[in-house]
Structure 1
Amino acid sequence: MKKLYGVIGDPIAHSMSPIMHNDLFQFYQIDAHYHPFHIQKEQLEDAVNALKTIGVAGFNVTVPHKGEIMKWLDEIDPLAEAIGAVNTVVNRNGKLTGYNTDGPGFVKGLRMLVQPLPGQRVLIVGAGGAAKAIYYALAKEGINMIDICNRTVEKAVELKKSCPFSVNTEILSIKEAEEKLNQYTLLIQTTLIGMEPATDFSPLSLENLNRDALVSDIIYNPLETKLLREAKEKGAIIQNGIDMFVYQGALAFQKWTGIMPDTARMKINVTKQLGGNPC
């Protein structure tokens, strides 16, 4: 009997996940299908119960439901509990368990470009849900210097206070971060600034960027944001959001099927769909 998987969110039509996961099911000869479900906030409880009733084997969760869905799950993984957000759900014999693969997915993608991670001097731009998942995951990996800058400083302070892992963190305004940018070996941009259609914007100036730094922007549409273009012009190594997207999806696929999929295949597939050069 064909198994059903999916992703829930609002909006959902733009999601690359169905293309990515259905290709994997075909590649590994798994009798399954992955479907996007457009679920509005007021429908969430009923939708979760319906997915459980029809026996959906697992599903991803995207905005705006990553936090709210935790109310309707049977169990939550400790990391997801700490982050306060779930992006992957596994149905085991009628019991729904929530996980967060965003932070670990980012770390796996980062390891392709940076070794070792401990010792890196990190600046995270933003203090939202993605920043929180990445901040926790990096702190868990033993990086003990992670600063945060955000337009609303109070939100960054809350993020620092909530972290369950040992880490040294300074909270900075955008201006303060710009002034000391040359101190960082890794800059991670987690906001929506620079995403389609507002591609002419950047969250901060890179005038003082360390030329040996890696600049990672979790946006993947466009494939190269204004921030990444400016960083490349300064000679820095750059990384867009495809790696994070692919690895968080790969970790979800592994939780559902027990198979760690071919991430190179996933990356080529997603890049093609976005109109980029997969080579």
Structure 2
Amino acid sequence: MVDGKTKILGVIGDPIEHTFSPAMHNAGLNELGLNYIYLPFHVKEERLGECIQGAKAMGIKGLNVTIPHKSNVIKHLDDIDSVASMIGAVNTIQFIYDEDNESSNQDNGINVRTKGFNTDGYGCVRAIEEKTSIKDKKVSITGAGGAARAVAFQIANSGIDELSILNRNLSKAQSLANDLKINLESIGIDISINAYDLEELKRELSDSDIFIDTTPIGMYPNVDDKPVASADMLHEDLLVNDIVYTPMKTSLIREAELANAEVVYGYKMLLYQGIRSFEIWLGREAPADVMENALLDVLGI
């Protein structure tokens, strides 16, 4: 029950009506018996700075950030962690209050620091590692946008041996590869780029251990679109992760199952990025099973 002591978490975006995060987070908060509530906030781009200042003034404890604010919000924050800095995007904001003077902070936002994190790549890696170790594997990624950047930086820093990036716009793939090499020069993994066409994809997947599709291909309502021609392009020793979660069984996932490949559903990345945010804000382990069940319920799965 909401009362005068209830603390606030939330998510900001434009639009925001589609968000599934409140169901997941509120289920976790309820399970732990915490007097918190997680709310969605519709924030236009031109009001983003005011939003962050207002959140400080109101004593909000944490925010998730979704489209289109993940990059623009950085200039409004006091600090960002190294992963978010490399990716150039933030999806989680922690508000750090002076505990000795918290009431005045809530009144006027004084002595409140904000720190940004990016938990998207963490969510993807944790979902994959439920099924297999990433260490010393060859990973192929399709796409070079924001989701691909988050996944690529996290996975490249997780002990893999080789990373292949395929994208229709080859210059974007080259830019991502260059950023990875500059920021992770001590990692020493083999990074290659290729144009995203069926022949190149088939060749790269033939000796890949893990395939991650970060493109929106197959997302509702275009559910029959798929990034591969058929199951013949896949193999049974491959793990296939499609980060699209509506529908849960995308065309790519269905082809992977026909090929007897291991699959990771897209909702798992959404779940684990949220769990990591939850743990950053509250400093305690999240009730993962409860949050997963709530997410599946709101997704209608």
Q: Is 2:219 the counterpart of 1:195?
A: yes
Q: Does 1:245 align with 2:262?
A: no
Match of 2:124 among 106, 109, 134: 106
Matched, 1:144 2:161: yes
Q: Which amino acid aligns with 1:111?
A: E
Counterpart in the other structure of 2:93? 89
Q: Give the TM-score of the pair, scaled to structure 1.
A: 0.95
Shift of 1:188: 0.1
In structure 2, the residue matched to 1:58 is: 62
Residues 168-198 of structure 1, C-alpha deviations (whole Å, 9 max, x = no match): 1111112212233211111001011111111
Structural RMSD (CA): 1.2
Name which of 127, 141, 144 aligns with 1:127. Answer: 144
**Residue of structure 1 equivalent to 2:16:** 12
1:253-264 equivalences under 5 Å are 253-264=278-289
SS of the residue 2:211 aligns to: strand
- Look up the SS of the partner of 1:270 in the other structure: helix
Q: Give the letter aligned to residue 96 of structure 1.
A: T
CA contact (8 A) 1:178 1:205 kept: no
Comparing 61-70 with 178-187, greater Cα deviation is found at 178-187
Shift of 1:9: 0.6
Deviation track 1:230-255 (CA, whole Å, cap 9, x = no partner) reads 11111111111111111111111111
Q: Structure 1: any 5+ residue segments left out of the alignment?
A: none
**d(CA) in 1 for partners of 2:193 and 2:65?**
30
Is the contact between residue 61 and residue 87 of structure 1 (CA under 8 Å) also seen in structure 2?
yes
Where does 1:221-240 land on structure 2 (aligned, <5 Å)? 221-240=246-265
Cα shift at 1:200: 1.3
Higher RCO (CA < 8 A, seq sep 6+)? 2
Letter in 1 for 2:120: D
Distance in 2 separating the partners of 1:180 and 1:79: 27
- Give, in angstroms, the shift of residue 45 of structure 1: 1.4
What is the CA-CA distance between 1:65 and the residue it aligns to?
Answer: 0.5
Measured against aligned partners, the alpha-carbon deviations of 1:75-106 in whole angstroms (never above 9, x if no partner) come to 11111111101000010011111011111121
Give the CA deviation at 1:228: 0.7
Partner residue in 2 for 1:169: 191
Q: Distance in 1 between matches of 2:81 and 2:48?
A: 20
Question: TM-score scaled by structure 2?
Answer: 0.89
Percentage of pairs with the same residue: 37
Q: Matches of 1:180 and 1:91 in 2, distance apart?
A: 43
Aligned length: 275
Q: Which has the larger radius of gyration?
A: 2
The farther-off stretch of 206-215 and 57-66 is 206-215
SS at match of 1:181: helix
Deviation at 1:8, TM superposition (A): 0.3
Equivalent position to 1:156, from 155, 173, 192: 173
SS in 2 for 1:162: helix
